[in-house]
Amino acid sequence: MLNLQQARWHIAQRIGTIIRASKLFDTEPWGKEDQARFLNQALWVSTTFSPLKLLDMVQEIEISLGRKRLEKWGTRIIDIDIIFYSNKIIATDRLQVPHPLMQERNFVLQPVNEIATKWKHPILQKTVAQLALECKDERKVNFS
């Protein structure tokens, strides 16, 4: 929980105003399942940074909090993802927005649904609430 508090503080200080924050969600691991559960939270942030500059900033925050990228989907101290950026569609080698797997992950959809229920996915043309209802991910997502 301390890592999430520190990440929120850094985001508010360095990136922009936190408009909304979901509750903390305790979730089963996804992708690589032989590891401990995760805490997840969604933030709605107002920023003046471009999407790629925002990516640089969140990666700097992750590193400052002790993140080491050792293994895809492996254990990590903090992981800050850009799920969406307004209604933009971004597809570069470094960044894909909306996050390409968001609709397949309850651990993303449940927190995002709490703060942005009516946001419409610009590619799938469905709200977060619709995506959450249709998600086939059966991993447990609980309020922490």
Task: Specify whether 93 is catalytic.
Answer: no
**Catalytic: which of 14, 67, 69, 105?**
67
Q: How close are the terminal C-alpha atoms of the chain, in Å?
A: 10
Respond yes or no: is residue 137 known to be catalytic: no
Say yes or no to pLDDT of 70 above 70: no
Tokens 């209802």 belong to which residue? Answer: 133
Q: What is the mean pLDDT of residues 54-61?
A: 96
Point out the catalytic residue in the list 81, 93, 105, 139.
Answer: 81
| Residue 30 vs residue 7, higher pLDDT | 7
- Could you tell me which of 132, 129, 106 has the C-alpha nearest to residue 118? 129
18 or 38, which is more confident? Answer: 18
CA-nearest of 144, 68, 10, 121 to 135 is: 121
Pairing of the two strands 25-27 and 141-143: antiparallel
- Look up 79 and say whether it is catalytic: yes
> How much is the pLDDT for 36?
67
| Mean pLDDT of the region 93-102 | 96
Q: What is the pLDDT of residue 35?
A: 62
Query: Which of 8, 14, 37, 76 is flagged as catalytic?
Result: 76
**Given 37, 56, 79, 139, which residue is catalytic?**
79
pLDDT digits (tens, 9 = 90+) for 73-91: 555 568 899 999 999 999 9
Residue 138 is predicted with a pLDDT of 84
Query: Which of 101, 68, 106, 110 lies closest to 82 in space, CA to CA?
Result: 101
Mean per-residue pLDDT of the chain? 89
Q: Under CATH, what is the fold of the domain 2-143? A: Alpha-Beta Plaits (3.30.70)
pLDDT at 13 over 60: yes
pLDDT in tens, 18-27: 999 999 998 8
d(CA 121, CA 124): 5
56 tagged catalytic: no
